[in-house]
Amino acid sequence: MVPARGKVDAVELDKYRSVDCEVLLPLLVDYVKADASFIPMRDGHTHRWHLRVGDREFELLTTGQKWFDTRLKLGGGGGIDLAMHLLALDFRQAVTKLRQVL
């Protein structure tokens, strides 16, 4: 059950914060492609992605819920942060978007 409009409970926040980036990326962006030539240096679960949202292009590294934008040198964790970053949304808008796609 989704809480009343504008309200986000702890269970819903946990859901959005715990979703893996590679699950969420295709739901948020116009184009996404894994970089098959990428060889992770630290964590074997890290992937590099090339994405496009509208006319903006990104190169992200993801490991589970964590992500890092290699071009802007900015990172975060969880679906809310990712949606805010990629789609230029505020917290409320990001939660609304995640409610739509998950």
Amino acid, single-letter form, for residue 2: V
Q: Which fold has domain 10-101?
A: DNA Primase; Chain A (3.90.580)
Work out the percent of the chain whose per-residue pLDDT is above 90. 92
Q: E strands, the chain, where?
A: 31-34, 47-53, 56-63, 66-69, 74-77
Q: What is the mean pLDDT of the chain?
A: 94
- Per-residue pLDDT, averaged over 58-83, amounts to 98
| pLDDT tens-place string over residues 5-50 | 668 899 999 999 999 999 999 999 999 999 999 999 999 999 999 9
Q: Which is more confident, 71 or 3?
A: 71
Instruction: Spell out the domain ranges in the chain.
Output: 10-101
Residue 67 confidence class, pLDDT cut points 50, 70, 90: very high
Work out the percent of the chain whose per-residue pLDDT is above 70. 94
